[in-house]
A = this chain, B = another copy of it.
Amino acid sequence: MRITLLIQGAPYASDAPRSALRFARAAVRSGHRIHRAFFYNDGVYIANAFATPPRDETDVAAQWVDFARSHDVDLTVCVAASLRRGIVDDGEAEQYELGGANLRDGFEIVGLGQMVEGMLEGDRTVTFGA
């Protein structure tokens, strides 16, 4: 089956990004496909490239990127939710004169339409809330 994930919790205040990743790994092991992971609300904080966890902590953002590359998963963050929280790509950095971009490699900034499309195209959609 094709499964779409909606992840709404921040990396530290919530277990959502970690639980969703463990779900996604198990889904792939069972022969399913993670069609798209869409990060929304405080979930978008995961896409901040400047995040530098200490060496003795697992880096769930890096783990998500590795997983997505190995299994061809779209890692997407909502443009409006990201912009108001300060996660921006080069185009936005220029447009809003922010002096720098911080979108993590492997993530793509997209509109909410991509999430709705994900729901329409996936056989199942699972929400991982904050």
State the A residues within 8 Å of B (CB): 10-13, 41-42, 45, 48-54, 57, 80, 83-88, 92-93, 96, 98-102, 130
Residues of B within 8 A of A10 (CB): 10, 13, 42
Q: How far is the CB of A18 from chain B (nearest CB, A)?
A: 14
Query: SS class of chain A's interface: helix, strand, loop or mixed?
Result: loop
Q: What is the oligomeric copy number? A: 2
Q: A86 → chain B, closest Cβ, in Å?
A: 3
Known A-B contacts A52-B83, A96-B52, A102-B100; A42 and B57 likewise in contact (beta carbons under 8 Å): no
Nearest CB of B to A47, in Å: 9
Quick one: closest B residue to A130, CB to CB? Answer: B13
